């Protein structure tokens, strides 16, 4: 388990780094789960996005990467209408040139956002 992160709730690794196919790190879908309590943050899309991105950043750092190494992101939103609010927060974390990104609507079982990433080291 990575430090400062709640344990995964399923059979997956929060992040995997490999040199076999290029020096890449794959970050599993992260959610707005509080690192201390393990509970889902009961907040709006902006608050949940901030926490989700912070959780992703912790995994990247543990794997020897930073947000600057991220080359691709997939975002899942429970409500596609939250795209604008999500994008505003995203722009405070990432700077140009932005990673490649896809945003899709999804049924997320009680959360508003989930984010996965690929980083090149």
Domain boundary assignment for the chain: 15-120
Question: Among 86, 31, 111, 28, which Cα is nearest to 62's?
Answer: 28
Instruction: Assign domain 15-120 one CATH number from 1.10.3720.10, 3.40.640.10, 3.30.1330.40, 3.10.20.30.
Output: 3.30.1330.40
pLDDT at 50: 98
Does residue 6 have a pLDDT over 90? Answer: no
Determine if residue 105 is left, alpha or beta; phi over 0 gives left, psi from -120 to 50 gives alpha, anything else beta.
Answer: beta
pLDDT at 113: 98
Report the chain's mean pLDDT, rounded to a whole number: 89
pLDDT at 22: 74
pLDDT at 87: 95
Q: What is the mean pLDDT of residues 86-101?
A: 94
């Amino acid at each position: 388990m990575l430090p400062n992160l709640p344990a995964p709730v399923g059979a997956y690794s929060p992040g995997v780094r490999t040199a076999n196919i290029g020096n890449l790190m794959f970050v599993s879908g992260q959610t707005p789960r509080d690192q201390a309590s393990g509970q889902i943050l009961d907040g709006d899309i902006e608050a949940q996005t901030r926490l989700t991105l912070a959780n992703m950043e912790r995994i990247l750092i543990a794997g020897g990467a930073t947000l600057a190494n991220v080359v691709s992101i997939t975002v899942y939103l429970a409500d596609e209408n939250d795209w604008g609010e999500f994008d505003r927060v995203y722009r405070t974390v990432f700077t140009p040139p932005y990673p490649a990104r896809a945003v899709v609507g999804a049924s997320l079982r009680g959360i508003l956002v989930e984010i996965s990433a690929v980083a090149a080291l």
